[in-house]
A and B are shown apart, each in its own frame.
Chain A
């Protein structure tokens, strides 16, 4: 099984290299140290009791921060969730320790990975609607964003869909940073030119 290990290690190394290629994209004149942008959700059928939302977190400050909670009037419960692949199994789970947003980095919650999970929807998440979402950070405190509801199968927030802006749409290097997907357990599954694991954390190194 050493061969398998080797593949896993080199895959991880490749991912690490790719992530280090990202250049920091700071918004000039930004006063707030931490911003949340491009909040969006997929529409859900009227009977749906759960839904998910995505958002891009940009930490322009010098202090590491952490998204520790979320709240919205549209749901009874709002949790932070992630998806992990284990031996071809999809596991969705709550991120109990929150989502780290290190200083100088951008963390994108995107389909196939980190997401805000709504449980007990009180209103239908209908395409075209918007609703408020309060994100709570360990240091930055509460940030309110407006979530845009898009098509049921939307993969990104279309109005901000232009490439190479803030790096949040960079599909080329969107492999998992933590190696949970396409890991060493199934060597012949391949990572399909970086298409695997769309979403998950995308870090931008500033130092």
Chain B
């Protein structure tokens, strides 16, 4: 009888561990986890210190953005399709937030510092919304911020010196007022969804 009991306990433990593993790896949603579509939960350590140059040519660090939420997208201005689409989502999100829009700083960080000079970035962000901050820097500074955000940006066809394409992370990061990661939005998340998540943290 004891043996049966031991087997039963062992079985329960295995089942429990399996479920825990599934929840941990994100295959199943835990009970306390908000399972929103388009939002990745449980992302690893993302964010942290950076020093970059904004579209006005001023050197800025992560500290300059604290006190407000930050909506961060990595892209490059030579990208004529996806990046403007995401910038448009930022604009719509700001519009939906109305007066609360000043609680969040929308940020575009280039993954292509060689071509995206301060002037190029300024023209790019200005075409969308005056609130959007464009950030560039030295290749080393960009490498560092990509590392902090676990973001990726890699030339796809570097043999084409002038018109090379850059593969890049498609996520949009919502950072809290203290600079820590709040939410990661997958590409295609609507402005309505972003505004909703931001509102919850006002």
Contacts and interface: CB of A to CB of B under 8 A. Distances in A.
Interface of A: 3-4, 42-52, 77, 81, 83, 85, 88-93, 111-113, 115, 117-120, 152-155, 181-182, 186-193, 195-198
Contacts of A187: 26-27
B84 A152 contact: yes
Interface in B118-169: 119-120, 123-124, 126-128, 152, 156, 162-163, 165, 167-169
A192 B84 contact: no
B18 to A, nearest CB: 12
Nearest to B38: A192
A47 B123 contact: yes
A88 B186 contact: yes
Contact of A81 (B81, B88, B120): B81
A48 B163 contact: no
Contact of B167 (A91, A153, A190): A91
Given A46-B123, A120-B162, A192-B188, A115 B80 contact: yes
A90 B75 CA distance: 9
A44 to B, nearest CB: 7
A191 B170 contact: no
B15 interface: no
A188 B162 contact: no
By Cβ-Cβ distance, the 4 closest A-B pairs, closest first, are: A190-B37, A153-B88, A196-B188, A45-B123
B186 A195 contact: no
A188 B40 contact: yes
B11 interface: no
B174 interface: no
Given A120-B163, A181-B188, A196-B187, A92 B79 contact: yes
A153 B188 contact: no
Given A3-B27, A188-B41, A190-B36, A45 B126 contact: yes
A119 B162 CA distance: 9
B39 A190 contact: yes
Contacts of B35: 188
Nearest to A89: B167
Given A47-B119, A192-B189, A195-B188, A152 B152 contact: no
B163 A90 contact: no
Given A153-B128, A198-B85, A192 B80 contact: no
B128 to A, nearest CB: 6
A196 B126 CA distance: 26
Contacts of B170: 85, 88-90
Contacts of A91: 156, 167
